[in-house]
Structure 1
């Protein structure tokens, strides 16, 4: 057992030092023609990715990339992508828990801000605000770990 398991996890802290837009892109390729009423619901494809960059022993930049494209009858309405980041200070977090905190809890903290930017930008582009549902970062983390395990297992198999 580790020292953390015996001694306790007291004093673990997560602080948001700052948060900011790293990149924002919005394309409205068929405006104004695409801005009027449509006779069918747009097809919206959503992409989500989380990146982590260690800045020093305690500070990490966590970036949340959320992109969406909307089409009606295979004709693009809009494309949007935001990369929203936060600088987080983690202290007394056990090494075994570090990855989960960085790719689950940190994105959960900044998601509402990225969501608002997406909604405001699509509204400013002439569409109803794009209100994406909350993201289950735990499931994304588990899916990514399973995918990585499979890739490692496949790479280890002889040809």
Structure 2
């Protein structure tokens, strides 16, 4: 569903098309995307143990904006958990996240993590849905490729900024 080239785009485009970039807020030509209303600020993930389907082996937890601890993941925004929760992998924290304006998929939130053993990229495609508070779906969970997610939320809808008068 997401091409492998999106992984390359994350590195090549950096934050092109996005004026202000954190793991919470992006200012784009269309307006401001602010994910803070979706975030838990109590060190717990907002989206916990999300699976691709009932037969999936991997579970993922994500909390936009604020880090959390779960199993072996420490101070992360995105964590991968194996079937029996005996292994876990950090898939990114706020310093490893960037909003990217992708020409095909629109605004995505990308996490890039590397250590001496591995490199992992996770892409969360942001879908504006005015009728949804927040729903995270796993699209691709193959560790040999990038991880792909879709976030449907009213908080993914750009809001126009009012201009201040001087």
Higher relative CO (Cα under 8 Å, sequence separation at least 6) belongs to 1
Q: Which has the higher helix share?
A: 1
For the pair shown, the structure with the greater C-alpha radius of gyration is 1
Between Structure 1 and Structure 2, which shows a larger proportion of strand residues?
A: 2
TM-score by length of 1: 0.28
